[in-house]
């Protein structure tokens, strides 16, 4: 099951690269914030339709959840604006590796301390080496 989830996550990462590639030209036509809004507007409409047909009707109220759990709603658009602005200037590969470096660095900290309600997973040598390789990839692609 883990392998299937890893493959799904890799496919999701590929989708993000496509999204970054789509955002640059769209932003060139309509502007950075309108491009970001269009991505979230289409996504919200699709999510709404999926909720109508596939979401359990007896789930706890969205508004009963702690407000800090809704930060993703703020972080998501910031991330997409960054993609929209950076990708046309530095390219998809460098943008994605930079995003990945930031994600892995922060994820190691979150896992290590069990922040945001996650299980604790200590930072070990293998995880540090993986981060070093990602940073090396960032440096090598930036020089290319």
Q: Please tell me the predicted confidence (pLDDT) of residue 135.
A: 96
Domain range list for the chain? 14-44+72-90, 92-144
User: What pLDDT is recorded for position 130?
Assistant: 96
pLDDT for 1 equals 76
Question: Could you tell me which residues come within 8 angstroms of residue 119 by beta carbon, excluding any fewer than 6 positions away?
Answer: 111
Angle at which helices 32-54 and 2-30 pack, to 10 degrees? 140
The pTM for the full model equals 0.84
Across the range 105-132, mean pLDDT stands at 96
Average of per-residue pLDDT across 110-120: 95
Cα-to-chain-centroid distance, residue 51: 21
Structure tokens that stand for 123 in this block:
């930072």
d(CA 79, CA 86): 10
> What local confidence, expressed as pLDDT, does residue 62 receive?
75
Per-residue pLDDT, averaged over 104-113, amounts to: 96
Q: Which tokens belong to 120?
A: 């604790």
Residue 5 to residue 23: CA distance in whole angstroms: 27
DSSP 55: S
Please enumerate, as own/partner, the contacts of 121-125 that have beta carbons within 8 Å and a separation of 24 or more: none
Predicted confidence band of residue 118 (pLDDT cuts 50, 70, 90) = very high
pLDDT per residue over 50-106, tens digit each? 988 998 777 777 778 888 888 888 898 999 999 999 999 999 999 999 999 999 999
pLDDT in tens, 10-43: 999 999 999 999 998 999 999 999 999 999 999 9
Question: Count of alpha carbons within 13 Å of 38, Cβ hemisphere only?
Answer: 15
């Amino acid at each position: 099951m883990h392998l299937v989830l890893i493959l799904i996550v890799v496919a999701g990462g590929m989708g993000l690269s496509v999204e970054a590639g789509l955002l640059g030209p769209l932003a060139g036509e309509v502007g950075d914030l309108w491009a970001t809004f269009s991505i979230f507007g289409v996504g919200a409409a699709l999510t709404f339709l999926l909720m109508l047909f596939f979401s359990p009707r007896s789930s706890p109220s969205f508004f009963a959840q702690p407000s800090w759990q809704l930060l993703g709603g703020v972080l998501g658009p910031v991330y997409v604006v960054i993609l929209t602005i950076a990708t046309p200037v530095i390219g998809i590969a460098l943008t994605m590796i930079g995003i990945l470096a930031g994600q892995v660095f922060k994820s190691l900290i979150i896992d290590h301390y069990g922040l945001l309600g996650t299980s604790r997973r200590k930072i070990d040598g293998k995880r540090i080496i993986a981060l070093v390789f990602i940073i090396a990839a960032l440096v090598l692609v930036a020089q290319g």
